[in-house]
Structure 1
Amino acid sequence: MASVETPDFVGSVAENVPFLRRYARALMGSQDSGDRYAAATLEAMLADNFGETAGHDARISLFRAFHLVWSSAGAPVGEPDSRLSARAQDHMADLTPNTREALLLHAIEGFTQLDIGRIMDISAQEAEQLIEVARREMESAIAGKVMVIEDEAIIAMDIASIVQDLGHFVTGIARTRAEAVRLAASDRPDLILADIQLADRSSGIDAVNDILAQFDDIPVIFITAFPERLLTGERPEPAFLITKPFSEEQVRSAVSQAMFFASTETLAA
Protein backbone atom coordinates (compact mmCIF):
# COMPACT_ATOMS: atom_id res chain seq x y z
CA MET A 1 0.00 0.00 0.00
CA ALA A 2 1.34 3.40 -0.96
CA SER A 3 1.98 5.93 1.78
CA VAL A 4 -0.33 8.95 1.75
CA GLU A 5 2.74 11.16 1.28
CA THR A 6 3.86 9.50 -1.96
CA PRO A 7 3.13 10.89 -5.41
CA ASP A 8 1.69 7.48 -6.35
CA PHE A 9 -1.02 7.80 -3.70
CA VAL A 10 -1.92 11.35 -4.70
CA GLY A 11 -1.91 10.41 -8.37
CA SER A 12 -4.20 7.47 -7.71
CA VAL A 13 -6.60 9.71 -5.82
CA ALA A 14 -6.65 12.10 -8.77
CA GLU A 15 -7.34 9.27 -11.22
CA ASN A 16 -10.39 8.23 -9.21
CA VAL A 17 -11.96 11.68 -8.89
CA PRO A 18 -14.15 11.25 -12.04
CA PHE A 19 -15.61 8.08 -10.52
CA LEU A 20 -16.21 9.78 -7.18
CA ARG A 21 -18.09 12.50 -9.09
CA ARG A 22 -20.17 9.85 -10.86
CA TYR A 23 -21.00 8.25 -7.52
CA ALA A 24 -21.74 11.55 -5.77
CA ARG A 25 -24.02 12.69 -8.57
CA ALA A 26 -25.98 9.43 -8.62
CA LEU A 27 -26.17 9.38 -4.83
CA MET A 28 -27.42 12.95 -4.46
CA GLY A 29 -29.53 13.14 -7.62
CA SER A 30 -27.87 16.36 -8.74
CA GLN A 31 -24.73 17.17 -10.73
CA ASP A 32 -24.23 20.47 -8.90
CA SER A 33 -24.62 18.96 -5.44
CA GLY A 34 -22.49 15.94 -6.28
CA ASP A 35 -19.68 18.07 -7.64
CA ARG A 36 -19.76 20.39 -4.63
CA TYR A 37 -19.32 17.53 -2.22
CA ALA A 38 -16.65 15.88 -4.35
CA ALA A 39 -14.72 19.17 -4.30
CA ALA A 40 -15.26 19.52 -0.56
CA THR A 41 -13.90 16.00 -0.13
CA LEU A 42 -10.65 16.85 -1.91
CA GLU A 43 -10.30 20.04 0.11
CA ALA A 44 -10.81 18.13 3.34
CA MET A 45 -8.26 15.48 2.38
CA LEU A 46 -5.67 18.13 1.52
CA ALA A 47 -6.34 20.15 4.66
CA ASP A 48 -5.99 17.08 6.86
CA ASN A 49 -3.05 15.68 4.87
CA PHE A 50 -5.20 12.57 4.31
CA GLY A 51 -5.10 11.80 8.02
CA GLU A 52 -8.74 10.66 8.36
CA THR A 53 -8.35 8.16 5.54
CA ALA A 54 -4.87 6.84 6.28
CA GLY A 55 -4.56 3.06 6.32
CA HIS A 56 -6.57 2.44 3.16
CA ASP A 57 -5.64 2.38 -0.50
CA ALA A 58 -6.15 5.58 -2.48
CA ARG A 59 -9.53 4.69 -3.98
CA ILE A 60 -11.03 3.59 -0.68
CA SER A 61 -9.49 6.64 1.00
CA LEU A 62 -11.17 8.97 -1.48
CA PHE A 63 -14.62 7.44 -1.12
CA ARG A 64 -14.24 7.14 2.64
CA ALA A 65 -13.35 10.81 2.86
CA PHE A 66 -16.43 11.67 0.80
CA HIS A 67 -18.64 9.76 3.22
CA LEU A 68 -17.07 11.50 6.19
CA VAL A 69 -17.75 14.90 4.61
CA TRP A 70 -21.21 14.01 3.31
CA SER A 71 -22.37 12.31 6.52
CA SER A 72 -21.10 15.15 8.69
CA ALA A 73 -23.31 17.49 6.63
CA GLY A 74 -26.35 15.35 7.36
CA ALA A 75 -26.23 13.14 4.22
CA PRO A 76 -28.09 15.70 2.08
CA VAL A 77 -29.58 15.12 -1.35
CA GLY A 78 -29.69 17.59 -4.22
CA GLU A 79 -32.31 20.31 -4.35
CA PRO A 80 -35.10 19.39 -6.79
CA ASP A 81 -35.07 21.66 -9.83
CA SER A 82 -37.96 20.13 -11.77
CA ARG A 83 -41.10 18.06 -11.37
CA LEU A 84 -39.14 14.87 -12.01
CA SER A 85 -36.38 15.67 -9.55
CA ALA A 86 -38.99 16.53 -6.92
CA ARG A 87 -40.60 13.14 -7.53
CA ALA A 88 -37.17 11.56 -7.21
CA GLN A 89 -36.67 13.16 -3.80
CA ASP A 90 -40.04 11.81 -2.67
CA HIS A 91 -38.96 8.32 -3.73
CA MET A 92 -35.65 8.71 -1.94
CA ALA A 93 -37.40 9.54 1.31
CA ASP A 94 -39.02 6.10 1.24
CA LEU A 95 -35.73 4.17 1.06
CA THR A 96 -34.23 2.45 4.06
CA PRO A 97 -31.34 4.63 5.33
CA ASN A 98 -27.84 3.82 3.97
CA THR A 99 -29.11 1.31 1.40
CA ARG A 100 -28.67 3.41 -1.71
CA GLU A 101 -25.04 4.31 -1.00
CA ALA A 102 -24.17 0.65 -0.36
CA LEU A 103 -25.83 -0.45 -3.61
CA LEU A 104 -24.12 2.27 -5.67
CA LEU A 105 -20.71 1.55 -4.17
CA HIS A 106 -21.07 -2.15 -4.95
CA ALA A 107 -22.94 -2.34 -8.24
CA ILE A 108 -21.77 0.82 -10.00
CA GLU A 109 -18.32 1.46 -8.51
CA GLY A 110 -17.38 -2.19 -8.02
CA PHE A 111 -16.41 -2.14 -4.35
CA THR A 112 -16.57 -5.37 -2.37
CA GLN A 113 -18.68 -5.64 0.76
CA LEU A 114 -15.47 -5.42 2.80
CA ASP A 115 -14.47 -2.23 0.98
CA ILE A 116 -17.92 -0.75 1.52
CA GLY A 117 -17.62 -1.52 5.21
CA ARG A 118 -14.38 0.45 5.33
CA ILE A 119 -15.90 3.35 3.42
CA MET A 120 -19.13 3.51 5.46
CA ASP A 121 -17.73 2.36 8.83
CA ILE A 122 -19.89 -0.76 8.96
CA SER A 123 -19.22 -4.48 8.78
CA ALA A 124 -19.05 -6.39 5.51
CA GLN A 125 -22.15 -8.32 6.57
CA GLU A 126 -24.06 -5.10 7.21
CA ALA A 127 -22.97 -3.83 3.78
CA GLU A 128 -24.30 -6.99 2.11
CA GLN A 129 -27.64 -6.64 3.90
CA LEU A 130 -27.97 -2.99 2.85
CA ILE A 131 -27.29 -3.91 -0.79
CA GLU A 132 -30.02 -6.55 -0.78
CA VAL A 133 -32.55 -4.22 0.82
CA ALA A 134 -31.81 -1.46 -1.70
CA ARG A 135 -32.12 -3.84 -4.63
CA ARG A 136 -35.50 -5.12 -3.47
CA GLU A 137 -36.90 -1.67 -2.70
CA MET A 138 -35.86 -0.09 -5.99
CA GLU A 139 -36.73 -2.98 -8.29
CA SER A 140 -40.21 -3.30 -6.85
CA ALA A 141 -40.99 0.42 -6.90
CA ILE A 142 -41.50 1.20 -10.61
CA ALA A 143 -42.05 -0.71 -13.86
CA GLY A 144 -42.21 0.82 -17.31
CA LYS A 145 -41.22 0.80 -20.98
CA VAL A 146 -37.52 0.67 -21.86
CA MET A 147 -35.87 1.39 -25.21
CA VAL A 148 -32.42 0.01 -26.08
CA ILE A 149 -30.01 1.75 -28.49
CA GLU A 150 -27.20 -0.73 -29.23
CA ASP A 151 -25.68 -1.89 -32.51
CA GLU A 152 -24.17 -5.18 -31.29
CA ALA A 153 -26.93 -7.80 -31.43
CA ILE A 154 -25.66 -10.05 -28.64
CA ILE A 155 -25.15 -7.14 -26.24
CA ALA A 156 -28.55 -5.69 -27.15
CA MET A 157 -30.30 -9.00 -26.46
CA ASP A 158 -28.43 -9.37 -23.18
CA ILE A 159 -29.52 -5.90 -22.05
CA ALA A 160 -33.10 -6.53 -23.15
CA SER A 161 -33.20 -9.79 -21.23
CA ILE A 162 -31.95 -8.16 -18.03
CA VAL A 163 -34.49 -5.35 -18.39
CA GLN A 164 -37.35 -7.80 -18.95
CA ASP A 165 -36.31 -9.88 -15.95
CA LEU A 166 -36.75 -6.72 -13.85
CA GLY A 167 -40.38 -6.56 -14.95
CA HIS A 168 -40.03 -3.82 -17.57
CA PHE A 169 -41.29 -3.93 -21.18
CA VAL A 170 -38.73 -3.43 -23.97
CA THR A 171 -40.23 -1.25 -26.71
CA GLY A 172 -37.51 -2.22 -29.19
CA ILE A 173 -33.82 -2.17 -30.11
CA ALA A 174 -32.35 0.51 -32.40
CA ARG A 175 -28.98 0.16 -34.14
CA THR A 176 -28.61 3.69 -35.52
CA ARG A 177 -29.49 7.28 -34.64
CA ALA A 178 -32.30 7.40 -37.20
CA GLU A 179 -33.80 4.09 -36.02
CA ALA A 180 -33.70 5.29 -32.43
CA VAL A 181 -35.56 8.51 -33.20
CA ARG A 182 -38.24 6.62 -35.16
CA LEU A 183 -38.68 4.01 -32.45
CA ALA A 184 -39.06 6.60 -29.70
CA ALA A 185 -41.59 8.55 -31.76
CA SER A 186 -43.69 5.44 -32.37
CA ASP A 187 -43.64 4.18 -28.78
CA ARG A 188 -42.50 6.68 -26.16
CA PRO A 189 -40.25 4.94 -23.61
CA ASP A 190 -39.98 5.60 -19.89
CA LEU A 191 -36.23 4.90 -19.99
CA ILE A 192 -33.50 4.73 -22.63
CA LEU A 193 -30.32 2.63 -22.52
CA ALA A 194 -27.93 3.97 -25.17
CA ASP A 195 -24.54 2.90 -26.49
CA ILE A 196 -22.29 5.79 -27.52
CA GLN A 197 -21.00 4.49 -30.89
CA LEU A 198 -23.59 3.02 -33.26
CA ALA A 199 -23.57 0.85 -36.38
CA ASP A 200 -23.50 3.59 -39.02
CA ARG A 201 -20.89 5.61 -37.09
CA SER A 202 -23.68 7.77 -35.74
CA SER A 203 -23.71 8.83 -32.10
CA GLY A 204 -25.92 7.47 -29.37
CA ILE A 205 -25.53 10.84 -27.68
CA ASP A 206 -26.97 12.59 -30.74
CA ALA A 207 -29.80 10.05 -30.91
CA VAL A 208 -30.71 10.68 -27.27
CA ASN A 209 -30.59 14.44 -27.70
CA ASP A 210 -32.88 14.15 -30.75
CA ILE A 211 -35.33 12.10 -28.70
CA LEU A 212 -35.23 14.45 -25.73
CA ALA A 213 -35.99 17.34 -28.04
CA GLN A 214 -39.40 15.67 -28.42
CA PHE A 215 -39.73 14.20 -24.92
CA ASP A 216 -37.68 16.10 -22.37
CA ASP A 217 -38.46 14.01 -19.31
CA ILE A 218 -37.04 10.56 -20.18
CA PRO A 219 -34.21 9.21 -17.99
CA VAL A 220 -31.18 7.91 -19.89
CA ILE A 221 -28.41 5.40 -19.15
CA PHE A 222 -25.32 5.67 -21.37
CA ILE A 223 -23.03 2.72 -22.08
CA THR A 224 -19.36 3.17 -22.94
CA ALA A 225 -15.98 1.46 -22.70
CA PHE A 226 -14.35 4.75 -21.66
CA PRO A 227 -16.44 6.38 -18.90
CA GLU A 228 -13.62 8.67 -17.74
CA ARG A 229 -13.74 10.43 -21.12
CA LEU A 230 -17.32 11.44 -20.46
CA LEU A 231 -16.91 12.42 -16.80
CA THR A 232 -14.96 15.58 -17.58
CA GLY A 233 -16.71 18.14 -15.39
CA GLU A 234 -18.22 19.93 -18.38
CA ARG A 235 -21.99 20.38 -18.30
CA PRO A 236 -24.17 18.52 -18.73
CA GLU A 237 -22.95 15.02 -17.90
CA PRO A 238 -24.78 11.69 -17.84
CA ALA A 239 -26.41 10.91 -14.52
CA PHE A 240 -26.13 7.16 -15.18
CA LEU A 241 -23.17 5.62 -16.93
CA ILE A 242 -22.39 1.90 -17.39
CA THR A 243 -18.88 0.80 -18.26
CA LYS A 244 -18.24 -1.87 -20.91
CA PRO A 245 -17.78 -4.72 -20.34
CA PHE A 246 -20.65 -4.58 -17.88
CA SER A 247 -22.12 -7.07 -15.45
CA GLU A 248 -25.78 -7.99 -15.08
CA GLU A 249 -25.75 -6.45 -11.62
CA GLN A 250 -24.53 -3.11 -12.99
CA VAL A 251 -27.35 -2.99 -15.52
CA ARG A 252 -29.96 -4.02 -12.94
CA SER A 253 -28.76 -1.37 -10.51
CA ALA A 254 -28.54 1.41 -13.10
CA VAL A 255 -31.97 0.63 -14.55
CA SER A 256 -33.55 0.54 -11.11
CA GLN A 257 -31.80 3.78 -10.15
CA ALA A 258 -32.78 5.58 -13.34
CA MET A 259 -36.42 4.46 -13.22
CA PHE A 260 -36.63 5.23 -9.51
CA PHE A 261 -35.05 8.67 -9.65
CA ALA A 262 -36.01 9.63 -13.21
CA SER A 263 -32.96 11.72 -14.06
CA THR A 264 -32.92 13.42 -17.45
CA GLU A 265 -29.32 14.69 -17.56
CA THR A 266 -27.59 13.98 -20.88
CA LEU A 267 -24.33 14.68 -22.61
CA ALA A 268 -23.57 17.56 -24.89
CA ALA A 269 -23.20 16.42 -28.51
Structure 2
Amino acid sequence: MSLEADLARWREHLTRFAALLGDPPDRHAPPDQEPVPGHCLIFAPHPDDECIVGALPLRLQQEAGWRVSNVAVTLGSDPRRRAARWAEVQDACQVLGFDCIAVGADGLSDVRPDTAERAPALWAAHVGAIATLLDRHRPALVVLPHALDDNPSHRGVYRLVVEAVAQAQLDTVLAHTEFWSTQASPNTLVQTGIADTARLIAALERHTGEIARNPYHLRLPAFLADTVRRGGELVLGAGEAPPDFAFATLYRLVACRNGHPAGDLPRHVCPADRALTSALLTR
Protein backbone atom coordinates (compact mmCIF):
# COMPACT_ATOMS: atom_id res chain seq x y z
CA MET A 1 0.00 0.00 0.00
CA SER A 2 1.32 3.48 -0.84
CA LEU A 3 2.12 6.13 1.75
CA GLU A 4 -0.75 8.28 0.43
CA ALA A 5 -3.19 5.41 0.94
CA ASP A 6 -1.81 4.70 4.43
CA LEU A 7 -2.19 8.34 5.42
CA ALA A 8 -5.73 8.53 4.04
CA ARG A 9 -6.73 5.37 5.93
CA TRP A 10 -5.32 6.64 9.21
CA ARG A 11 -6.82 10.10 8.76
CA GLU A 12 -10.24 8.52 8.38
CA HIS A 13 -9.83 6.39 11.52
CA LEU A 14 -8.39 9.26 13.57
CA THR A 15 -11.08 11.72 12.46
CA ARG A 16 -13.74 9.37 13.80
CA PHE A 17 -11.84 8.85 17.05
CA ALA A 18 -11.24 12.58 17.49
CA ALA A 19 -14.93 13.29 16.89
CA LEU A 20 -15.79 10.99 19.80
CA LEU A 21 -13.46 13.09 21.96
CA GLY A 22 -15.05 16.34 20.84
CA ASP A 23 -11.99 17.54 18.92
CA PRO A 24 -12.81 20.22 16.31
CA PRO A 25 -11.53 19.75 12.74
CA ASP A 26 -7.83 20.20 12.03
CA ARG A 27 -6.65 23.78 12.49
CA HIS A 28 -3.54 24.18 10.39
CA ALA A 29 -0.64 26.29 11.57
CA PRO A 30 0.87 28.52 8.90
CA PRO A 31 4.51 27.67 8.14
CA ASP A 32 6.86 29.99 9.99
CA GLN A 33 10.21 29.23 8.35
CA GLU A 34 13.17 30.49 10.34
CA PRO A 35 16.13 32.23 8.66
CA VAL A 36 18.52 29.63 10.10
CA PRO A 37 16.48 26.56 11.10
CA GLY A 38 17.73 24.46 13.98
CA HIS A 39 18.80 20.84 14.07
CA CYS A 40 17.20 18.23 16.32
CA LEU A 41 18.76 14.87 17.18
CA ILE A 42 16.44 12.11 18.41
CA PHE A 43 18.28 9.43 20.39
CA ALA A 44 16.10 6.34 19.90
CA PRO A 45 16.80 3.40 22.21
CA HIS A 46 15.14 1.10 19.66
CA PRO A 47 13.97 1.48 16.06
CA ASP A 48 10.35 2.74 16.38
CA ASP A 49 10.89 5.18 19.25
CA GLU A 50 11.41 7.97 16.71
CA CYS A 51 7.74 7.55 15.71
CA ILE A 52 6.31 7.23 19.21
CA VAL A 53 7.96 10.40 20.56
CA GLY A 54 8.29 12.30 17.28
CA ALA A 55 5.56 14.93 17.63
CA LEU A 56 7.78 17.87 18.63
CA PRO A 57 10.52 17.18 16.04
CA LEU A 58 7.94 16.59 13.30
CA ARG A 59 6.22 19.90 13.97
CA LEU A 60 9.47 21.86 14.15
CA GLN A 61 10.49 20.34 10.83
CA GLN A 62 7.18 21.06 9.07
CA GLU A 63 6.43 24.45 10.60
CA ALA A 64 9.88 26.03 11.02
CA GLY A 65 12.05 24.15 8.53
CA TRP A 66 14.19 22.35 11.11
CA ARG A 67 16.41 19.45 10.17
CA VAL A 68 15.62 16.33 12.21
CA SER A 69 18.01 13.39 12.48
CA ASN A 70 17.15 10.13 14.19
CA VAL A 71 20.10 8.42 15.88
CA ALA A 72 19.50 4.66 16.01
CA VAL A 73 21.40 4.02 19.24
CA THR A 74 20.66 0.29 19.18
CA LEU A 75 19.10 -1.99 16.60
CA GLY A 76 17.46 -4.21 19.19
CA SER A 77 18.64 -7.19 21.19
CA ASP A 78 18.22 -9.88 18.51
CA PRO A 79 21.28 -9.97 16.21
CA ARG A 80 19.26 -11.81 13.55
CA ARG A 81 16.85 -8.89 13.26
CA ARG A 82 19.31 -5.98 13.20
CA ALA A 83 19.69 -5.69 9.44
CA ALA A 84 15.91 -5.78 9.01
CA ARG A 85 15.39 -3.26 11.80
CA TRP A 86 17.89 -0.87 10.22
CA ALA A 87 15.96 -1.13 6.94
CA GLU A 88 12.65 -0.57 8.79
CA VAL A 89 13.87 2.52 10.65
CA GLN A 90 15.18 4.04 7.42
CA ASP A 91 11.78 3.43 5.84
CA ALA A 92 9.98 4.98 8.83
CA CYS A 93 12.26 8.03 8.81
CA GLN A 94 11.57 8.50 5.10
CA VAL A 95 7.84 8.70 5.91
CA LEU A 96 8.57 11.39 8.52
CA GLY A 97 11.17 13.25 6.49
CA PHE A 98 13.87 12.60 9.11
CA ASP A 99 17.51 11.80 8.42
CA CYS A 100 18.72 8.52 9.89
CA ILE A 101 22.10 8.11 11.59
CA ALA A 102 23.61 4.73 12.44
CA VAL A 103 25.97 4.39 15.41
CA GLY A 104 28.57 1.83 14.37
CA ALA A 105 27.90 -0.99 11.97
CA ASP A 106 25.25 -2.67 14.13
CA GLY A 107 24.19 -0.10 16.69
CA LEU A 108 25.62 0.01 20.19
CA SER A 109 25.43 -3.08 22.39
CA ASP A 110 24.66 -3.39 26.11
CA VAL A 111 23.28 0.12 26.58
CA ARG A 112 21.85 -0.24 30.08
CA PRO A 113 21.91 1.92 33.18
CA ASP A 114 24.46 -0.32 34.94
CA THR A 115 26.82 -0.90 31.98
CA ALA A 116 29.27 1.73 33.23
CA GLU A 117 29.82 -0.31 36.39
CA ARG A 118 29.85 -3.75 34.70
CA ALA A 119 31.87 -2.85 31.59
CA PRO A 120 33.56 0.54 32.12
CA ALA A 121 35.73 0.37 28.99
CA LEU A 122 32.73 -0.41 26.77
CA TRP A 123 30.70 2.36 28.39
CA ALA A 124 33.49 4.91 27.94
CA ALA A 125 33.68 3.99 24.25
CA HIS A 126 29.89 4.41 23.91
CA VAL A 127 29.93 7.81 25.61
CA GLY A 128 32.84 8.91 23.44
CA ALA A 129 31.05 7.87 20.24
CA ILE A 130 27.91 9.82 21.16
CA ALA A 131 29.91 12.84 22.36
CA THR A 132 31.75 12.91 19.02
CA LEU A 133 28.42 12.81 17.17
CA LEU A 134 27.04 15.64 19.33
CA ASP A 135 30.16 17.73 18.82
CA ARG A 136 29.91 17.28 15.05
CA HIS A 137 26.24 18.28 14.80
CA ARG A 138 25.87 20.71 17.77
CA PRO A 139 22.07 20.21 17.86
CA ALA A 140 19.79 22.87 19.31
CA LEU A 141 17.42 20.16 20.58
CA VAL A 142 18.24 16.66 21.87
CA VAL A 143 15.36 14.20 22.34
CA LEU A 144 15.95 11.33 24.80
CA PRO A 145 14.00 9.15 27.26
CA HIS A 146 13.51 10.39 30.80
CA ALA A 147 15.66 8.94 33.57
CA LEU A 148 13.07 6.46 34.87
CA ASP A 149 11.37 5.33 31.65
CA ASP A 150 10.82 1.73 32.67
CA ASN A 151 12.85 -0.17 30.08
CA PRO A 152 16.56 -0.96 30.57
CA SER A 153 17.59 0.35 27.15
CA HIS A 154 15.58 3.56 27.62
CA ARG A 155 17.21 4.22 30.99
CA GLY A 156 20.58 3.31 29.53
CA VAL A 157 20.16 5.75 26.64
CA TYR A 158 19.18 8.48 29.10
CA ARG A 159 22.42 7.99 31.05
CA LEU A 160 24.48 7.64 27.87
CA VAL A 161 23.21 10.85 26.28
CA VAL A 162 23.43 12.92 29.47
CA GLU A 163 27.05 11.87 29.99
CA ALA A 164 27.87 12.51 26.32
CA VAL A 165 26.27 15.99 26.42
CA ALA A 166 28.49 16.79 29.42
CA GLN A 167 31.60 15.43 27.68
CA ALA A 168 30.83 17.48 24.54
CA GLN A 169 30.19 20.57 26.73
CA LEU A 170 27.09 21.23 24.65
CA ASP A 171 24.72 24.18 24.86
CA THR A 172 21.34 22.72 23.94
CA VAL A 173 17.85 21.84 25.16
CA LEU A 174 17.05 18.32 26.29
CA ALA A 175 13.52 17.08 25.56
CA HIS A 176 12.79 14.19 27.92
CA THR A 177 10.18 11.76 26.60
CA GLU A 178 8.04 9.02 28.10
CA PHE A 179 6.58 5.74 26.93
CA TRP A 180 7.14 2.83 29.33
CA SER A 181 6.42 4.99 32.37
CA THR A 182 5.29 8.56 32.91
CA GLN A 183 7.66 11.30 34.01
CA ALA A 184 7.15 13.34 37.14
CA SER A 185 7.50 16.90 35.87
CA PRO A 186 6.63 17.37 32.20
CA ASN A 187 6.41 21.01 31.16
CA THR A 188 5.44 20.91 27.46
CA LEU A 189 2.36 19.42 25.78
CA VAL A 190 2.57 19.30 21.98
CA GLN A 191 -0.57 18.66 19.96
CA THR A 192 -0.55 16.69 16.76
CA GLY A 193 -3.54 17.23 14.50
CA ILE A 194 -5.13 14.48 12.45
CA ALA A 195 -2.62 14.72 9.58
CA ASP A 196 0.51 14.65 11.77
CA THR A 197 -0.85 11.89 14.01
CA ALA A 198 -1.64 9.85 10.90
CA ARG A 199 1.92 10.37 9.63
CA LEU A 200 3.44 9.21 12.93
CA ILE A 201 1.33 6.04 12.90
CA ALA A 202 1.99 5.36 9.21
CA ALA A 203 5.71 5.62 9.96
CA LEU A 204 5.34 3.27 12.93
CA GLU A 205 3.68 0.74 10.61
CA ARG A 206 6.97 0.54 8.69
CA HIS A 207 8.43 -1.35 11.65
CA THR A 208 6.77 -4.47 10.30
CA GLY A 209 8.68 -7.03 12.34
CA GLU A 210 7.84 -5.35 15.63
CA ILE A 211 4.14 -4.76 14.97
CA ALA A 212 3.81 -8.36 13.77
CA ARG A 213 4.92 -9.35 17.28
CA ASN A 214 2.80 -6.72 19.03
CA PRO A 215 0.40 -4.44 17.09
CA TYR A 216 1.10 -1.47 19.35
CA HIS A 217 0.64 0.98 16.47
CA LEU A 218 -3.11 0.37 16.84
CA ARG A 219 -2.94 1.55 20.45
CA LEU A 220 -0.86 4.67 19.83
CA PRO A 221 -3.93 6.93 19.27
CA ALA A 222 -5.28 5.94 22.69
CA PHE A 223 -1.90 6.66 24.27
CA LEU A 224 -1.77 10.11 22.64
CA ALA A 225 -5.37 10.81 23.66
CA ASP A 226 -4.71 9.84 27.28
CA THR A 227 -1.67 12.12 27.23
CA VAL A 228 -4.06 15.05 26.63
CA ARG A 229 -6.01 14.04 29.75
CA ARG A 230 -2.87 13.88 31.88
CA GLY A 231 -0.91 16.63 30.20
CA GLY A 232 -3.59 19.27 30.38
CA GLU A 233 -3.54 19.32 34.17
CA LEU A 234 0.15 18.49 34.61
CA VAL A 235 1.23 21.41 32.41
CA LEU A 236 -1.63 23.90 32.91
CA GLY A 237 -2.26 23.05 36.57
CA ALA A 238 -4.65 20.89 38.55
CA GLY A 239 -8.28 21.77 37.92
CA GLU A 240 -7.62 23.85 34.81
CA ALA A 241 -9.78 23.40 31.70
CA PRO A 242 -8.38 20.63 29.51
CA PRO A 243 -7.13 21.41 25.99
CA ASP A 244 -9.74 21.05 23.24
CA PHE A 245 -7.71 18.67 21.08
CA ALA A 246 -7.50 14.90 20.81
CA PHE A 247 -3.84 13.91 20.45
CA ALA A 248 -0.64 15.17 22.05
CA THR A 249 2.78 14.19 23.41
CA LEU A 250 4.38 15.25 26.68
CA TYR A 251 7.97 16.40 27.11
CA ARG A 252 10.12 17.91 29.82
CA LEU A 253 12.33 20.59 28.27
CA VAL A 254 15.54 21.32 30.16
CA ALA A 255 18.17 23.87 29.12
CA CYS A 256 21.82 22.76 29.18
CA ARG A 257 24.75 25.12 29.32
CA ASN A 258 28.28 23.86 28.78
CA GLY A 259 26.92 20.34 29.02
CA HIS A 260 25.14 20.70 32.35
CA PRO A 261 21.46 21.27 33.27
CA ALA A 262 20.65 24.95 33.74
CA GLY A 263 16.95 24.66 34.59
CA ASP A 264 13.58 23.68 33.19
CA LEU A 265 12.02 25.80 30.47
CA PRO A 266 8.66 27.54 31.07
CA ARG A 267 5.48 25.49 30.77
CA HIS A 268 3.88 25.44 27.34
CA VAL A 269 0.83 23.95 25.66
CA CYS A 270 1.44 23.94 21.91
CA PRO A 271 -1.77 23.65 19.85
CA ALA A 272 -1.49 22.80 16.18
CA ASP A 273 -2.95 26.10 15.01
CA ARG A 274 0.09 28.02 16.27
CA ALA A 275 3.36 27.33 14.46
CA LEU A 276 6.22 25.97 16.53
CA THR A 277 9.56 27.79 16.27
CA SER A 278 12.78 27.88 18.21
CA ALA A 279 11.15 30.44 20.52
CA LEU A 280 9.75 27.44 22.39
CA LEU A 281 13.30 26.51 23.42
CA THR A 282 14.19 29.81 25.11
CA ARG A 283 13.77 30.75 28.76
> TM-score with structure 1 length normalisation?
0.35
Answer 1 or 2: which has greater helix percent: 1
> TM-score with structure 2 length normalisation?
0.33
Answer 1 or 2: which has greater strand percent: 2
